[in-house]
Amino acid sequence: MSLPLTIIAQGGGFVRSRAGETGCPGNDGICLNWILDHLDRYQTPFIEHVYISVVPVAIGFAIALSLGLLAHRLRWLITPLTGLTSALYTVPSIAAFLLLLPVTGRGNDTAIVALTAYTLVIIFRNVITGLAGVPKDSIDAARGMGLTSRQLLFGVELPLALPEILAGLRIAAATTVGLAAFAYLAGAGGLGRNIDSNITFKGNVLVCGVLLTLLAAALDLTVLTFQRFVTPWRRAASS
Amino acid sequence: MTPPLASILTTFRDAVQFIFEQRESGAGTVRVGGLQEVGHLAANHFAVSFLAVAIALAVSVPIGLWLGHLGRAEFLAIGVANIGRAVPALAIIAFFVAFLGTGFTNITFALTLLAIPPILTNTYVGMRQVDPELVDAARGQGLSEFQVVRQVELPLALATMFGGVRLSAVTVLATATIAPRAGLDTLGTPILSPEVYGEAGQIGAAIVVAVLTLTTDAGFALVQRLVTPKGLKVAGRGGGPSRTWPMSIRRVQLR
């Protein structure tokens, strides 16, 4: 699980290389020309940020969906699982990164473990409410047609709950992109390190902020497109 | 490559010791840690967070009540939460530091911006959730619009509103950890300066931040339960009010 992390070895090199420069960057300005010339410096951190955002969301989705389906069958599990995932969500991300350090060591793995834990509550809740919101009539009709409970779940309940479940996935993705900005404290990569290493330089903060916001929006749009694609009946109903 | 259990335990024991006893700093020039310093940092941390949430309350509750009562500007009340989620907390703090400079006022203002979306959205959603028939009945009994808000809608929306305040408080306490970058010493100071405070300082401060946040969250959960009208507790599915993340927010977003 080790992505090429050469950027970590560089550490704060980003700052120091700028200090020698004259003109706009030296004055912490916005410096459009400097940004255009040095955009490549953000490439590796950006790719790392995508990695430490997408992987936790994917793992978290798999875990939370499984837990949600389990709790849908065994109703008594809903309260303890909601409590557990909420408690995980409440621990501040920065604290979680540091508390995991002695156990999982510095690097992307620690970030991924902590960020995965944060996605659970959001997705789990939406799986539960999505499944609970399936119209009783649809379930009765499906039962009347002789569907087994497995067919009922995968053929009727899950598809109808999908918009709610994917809404959770969208929130989880946007939240994870933001929290992953703190992952540098766990020795992981990502744009957070760039921000922190040069926090008074307007151009740097602007580029990182825009890239992070774009990444969150892009992930959101990806899930939304996927949702349109897998729930064609909703388009049919609205047109 | 997981280190053996004994070494993990030693690290955490050292971190807890940092909270209670002073020690030499990394360079050996000053003494760091101990209850006095950690207590001072925790007090700062709590004060700036409290102030930010208080200002956010004063700003967003009246707007949320007003818009919710009128049922207007849903895109604003809901959209602000979406925007708040898309812009990372670190980016907001960094933006303030780079463009407006450091200092107590600036960091408070930045944290206030983070605290506003959940409170505003939950106030709005809480007001919209109130059964319109109840509002009609109240009007039929001759209550003025102000009385309808004060005596009918507000009490019924209070639990959802507190869900938002709770989420805000947790977010702000978590983000105040990076306040040292804006020139204010909080529990983030040992975390962001490992060369002075060492690994024990980092992890010790992380423990205190986590405890502070979990305690605050539990406190709000209790208040949230207390302010839920008895009628709602009986009628509601599964009893208590929705917790940190009211499901209804997305219900509204979906449409």
pLDDT at residue B155 tops 80 = yes
Of all residues in chain A, the one with the smallest CA distance to B202 is: A98
**CA distance linking residue B132 with residue B137, whole number of Å:** 9
A208 touching B (Cβ < 8 Å)? yes
ipTM score for this prediction: 0.81
Of A29 and B70, more confident: B70
Write the residue in B178, B188, B206 that is nearest to A99 by C-beta. Answer: B206
Question: How high does pLDDT run on average in chain B?
Answer: 83
Mean pLDDT of B84-101: 87
Q: Which of A92, A211, A200, A214 is closest to B94 using CA atoms?
A: A200
Residues in CB range of A114: below 8 A, 6 or more apart: A93, A96, A97, A100, A183, A186
pLDDT of residue A7: 37
B245/chain A closest Cα distance in angstroms: 8
Of A2 and A37, more confident: A37
Residues in CB range of B110: below 8 A, 6 or more apart: B92, B93, B95, B96, B182
pLDDT for B207-227, tens place per residue?
999 999 999 999 998 888 888
pLDDT for B226-241, tens place per residue?
888 776 665 544 434 4
Write the residue in B86, B90, B206 that is nearest to A192 by C-beta. Answer: B90
Of all residues in chain B, the one with the smallest CA distance to A83 is: B243
Cβ contact, residue pair B90, A196, below 8 Å: yes
**CA distance linking residue A186 with residue B124, whole number of Å:** 37
Cβ contact, residue pair B88, A181, below 8 Å: yes
pLDDT of residue B209: 94
Mean pLDDT of B97-123: 91
Segment 157-196 of chain B within 8 Å of chain A by CB:
170, 173-174, 177-178, 181, 188, 191
Of B25 and B163, more confident: B163
Helix axes B5-20, B34-70, angle to 10 degrees: 90
Token look-up 């996935």 returns: A169
What are the Cα distances from residue A93, in Å, to A178, A197, A198, B75, B254? 10, 19, 21, 29, 28
User: Which of A40-49, A220-229, B107-116, B222-231 shows the lowest per-residue confidence on average (mean pLDDT)?
Assistant: B222-231
pLDDT at residue A3 tops 70 = no
Residue type, A171: I
**CA distance linking residue A13 with residue A29, whole number of Å:** 19
**CA distance linking residue B40 with residue B48, whole number of Å:** 12
DSSP state of A190: S
Cα torsion A51, A54, A60, A62 to 10°: value is: -110
Cα torsion A185, A188, A192, A195 to 10°: value is: 80
Q: How many CB atoms lie within 10 A of CB A221?
A: 11
pLDDT level of residue B58 (50, 70, 90 thresholds): very high
What are the Cα distances from residue A225, in Å, to A59, A218, B37? 20, 10, 51
**CA distance linking residue B193 with residue B96, whole number of Å:** 21
Q: Which of A114, A127, A124, A187 is closest to A158 using CA atoms?
A: A127
pLDDT of residue B249: 40
User: Which of A102-106, A211-215, B39-43 shows the lowest per-residue confidence on average (mean pLDDT)?
Assistant: A102-106
Question: How high does pLDDT run on average in chain A?
Answer: 85
Of A238 and A189, more confident: A189
pLDDT for A108-147, tens place per residue?
889 999 999 999 999 999 999 999 989 999 999 999 999 9
**CA distance linking residue A230 with residue A233, whole number of Å:** 9
pLDDT for A46-90, tens place per residue?
999 999 999 999 999 999 999 999 999 898 999 999 999 999 999
Token look-up 């490439």 returns: A43
Helix, strand or coil, per DSSP, at residue A172: helix
Percent of chain A at pLDDT exceeding 70: 89
Cβ contact, residue pair B210, A220, below 8 Å: no
pLDDT at residue A214 tops 60 = yes
A176/chain B closest Cα distance in angstroms: 9
Segment 76-115 of chain B within 8 Å of chain A by CB:
85-91, 94-95, 97-99
DSSP state of A28: T
**CA distance linking residue B157 with residue A80, whole number of Å:** 26
A230/chain B closest Cα distance in angstroms: 16
Of all residues in chain B, the one with the smallest CA distance to A79 is: B238
A227 touching B (Cβ < 8 Å)? no
DSSP state of A199: T
Of all residues in chain A, the one with the smallest CA distance to B97 is: A200
Distance of CA B1 to the CA centre of its chain: 36
Of all residues in chain B, the one with the smallest CA distance to A95 is: B206
pLDDT of residue B252: 37
B12 touching A (Cβ < 8 Å)? yes
Distance of CA A186 to the CA centre of its chain: 17
CA gyration radius for chain B?
A: 22
Contact present, B186 and B44 (Cβ < 8 Å): yes
